[in-house]
Amino acid sequence: MRLDCLPIHKHQTSKMKKVMVFIFLLCVTGIGVFWREDISLHFLPQDERPCACDQCLCEDGLLQNFSKFAEPFLSVNCNLSNDDFNWWRRIQNEKHNYSYYKTTVDKIFQMLPASADVEPPSPDRCRTCAVVGNSGNLKNSHHGPLIDSQDIVIRMNRGRTKGYEADVGTRTTHHVMYPESAVDLDNTTRLVLFSFKIMDLEWVIKAFSTGFSGSSYMPIKSKIKANKDLVMVLNPAFMRYVHDVWLQKKGRYPSTGFMALVLGLHICDEVHVFGFGADSDGNWSHYWEKLQDKKLKTGPHPGDEEYGVLQKLAQRQLLKFHKGS
């Protein structure tokens, strides 16, 4: 378990830390490596339900193999460890050093809220989540109403609803993106920035102010329409945690979709997953476009590994995987 950004006193014993993490985060979940020894469960009173769902993510046997990440989002007080920074800077060959990173993050928090607005878990809450990927298997799925009926609806990258409402729904509470995949949002949707390099952090600052003029491996929106009071920035250490713990270091780094899924397991009590994987013909495409490339290409991401973990989670009923058509 990684505790880099945990807001508790450094001298607490590690056991105490675990209790604290558990109390503060209850069901903030991550799946522990399946075979790993449990960490914090012995401290949960038997009669204390961590959430109000029929089954909580971190209950009973299921909980046994869970580990949790304390701070999925950056906040003004969150210090990235050098080690995590060095992991992160390798994923896209970052040239800048830690102090440059730190300066940039400080600038971000002059503009954005000091911490991400994440409601803590509670015994009387059953907050449900739809994590909506962009797979062509959403076509003709008629999942729209089911997606819209979840409390939180997380979409990603160029995911859209207009024209596809019956299959993908209409609501978006959180939209995950990085500069190269950015789209405009309405003013009630949270922009969740997945930053893969320092330039991505600089982008968010400029895109909300004077406009961004840097270049990347593809064109980038200079300005973005979104509510800047609702921006949340993923903690780079969370990316590493997903890579290490959930994917056992397969591939170079996890895909946006997979990280969004693990994030869903951290901020919700019940998670429904849509639009992941291939369609029923085994083709990979987006629901809004005609299939162009029949070959699955997942680049630096371990696509098969990710899909395997998703299926395992579904088998263990840690989430509900709606396969679509």
Which residues are annotated as catalytic?
253, 301
Contact between 46 and ligand NAG by CB under 6 A: the answer reads no
Residue of 129, 115, 319, 152 lying closest to 231 (CA atoms): 115
Contact between 173 and ligand NAG by CB under 6 A: the answer reads no
Q: How far is CA 200 from CA 134, 211, 292, 295, 319, in A?
A: 22, 13, 28, 29, 31
Nearer to ligand NAG, 100 or 304 (CB): 100
Nearer to ligand NAG, 65 or 235 (CB): 65
Contact between 225 and ligand NAG by CB under 6 A: the answer reads no
Contact between 35 and ligand NAG by CB under 6 A: the answer reads yes
Contact between 217 and ligand NAG by CB under 6 A: the answer reads no
3-state SS class at 302: coil
Residues 144, 136: Cα–Cα separation, whole Å: 14
Q: Which two tokens stand for residue 277?
A: 């994987």
Contact between 62 and ligand NAG by CB under 6 A: the answer reads yes
Radius of gyration of the chain (CA): 19
Nearer to ligand NAG, 218 or 290 (CB): 290
Smallest gap from residue 124 Cβ to ligand NAG (A): 25
SS3 sequence of 81-132: CHHHHHHHHHHCCCCCCHHHHHHHHHHHHHHCCCCCCCCCCCCCCCCEEEEE
Contact between 315 and ligand NAG by CB under 6 A: the answer reads no
Residue of 17, 4, 62, 74 lying closest to 38 (CA atoms): 62
Find the binding residues for ligand NAG in span 100-119 (CB under 6 A). 100
Among 79, 86, 140, 248, binds ligand NAG (CB under 6 A): 79
Find the binding residues for ligand NAG in span 177-216 (CB under 6 A). 187
- Site for ligand NAG, rule CB under 6 A: 7, 34-35, 61-62, 64-65, 77, 79, 96-97, 99-100, 187, 281, 283, 291, 294
